Amino acid sequence: MNCSRCGVALAAGSTVCPRCGMAAGASTAPLTIEQINWLRVNAFGPPIFALAIIGGVALMFSCFFGQLLDRPFVKAFAIVAGLLLLGVLAAVALHVRNTWADLRAGVAQVRVARLADKRASAGSSGGRTYYAEFEEVGSVIVMHDIYEPLVVGRLYQVTYSPHTRKGWRVDAAG
pLDDT of residue 6: 67
pLDDT bracket for residue 2 (50, 70, 90):
low
Note whether 44 and 70 are same-domain residues. yes
Note whether 55 and 100 are same-domain residues. yes
Is pLDDT above 90 for 23? no
Last residue of a domain, one of 77, 104, 131: 104
pLDDT of residue 127: 81
Note whether 39 and 97 are same-domain residues. yes
Residue range(s) defining the domain that contains residue 118: 108-172
Note whether 79 and 129 are same-domain residues. no
Last residue of a domain, one of 104, 134, 164: 104
pLDDT in tens, 62-86: 777 666 667 777 778 778 888 988 8
Percentage of the chain exceeding pLDDT 70:
82
Residue 45 domain flag: yes
Rounded to whole angstroms, the Cα distance separating 19 from 101 reads: 12
Is pLDDT above 80 for 44? yes
pLDDT of residue 82: 84
Last residue of a domain, one of 87, 104, 121: 104
Rounded to whole angstroms, the Cα distance separating 67 from 86 reads: 24
pLDDT bracket for residue 36 (50, 70, 90):
very high
When divided into structural domains, the chain yields a total of: 2
pLDDT in tens, 7-20: 677 777 666 677 66
pLDDT in tens, 101-147: 999 999 999 999 999 999 999 876 668 999 999 998 999 999 999 99
Rounded to whole angstroms, the Cα distance separating 125 from 67 reads: 36
Q: How far is the first Cα of the chain from the last one, in angstroms, to the nearest whole number?
A: 26
Residue 2 domain flag: no
The CATH code of the domain that includes 140 is 2.40.50.140
Residue 49 domain flag: yes
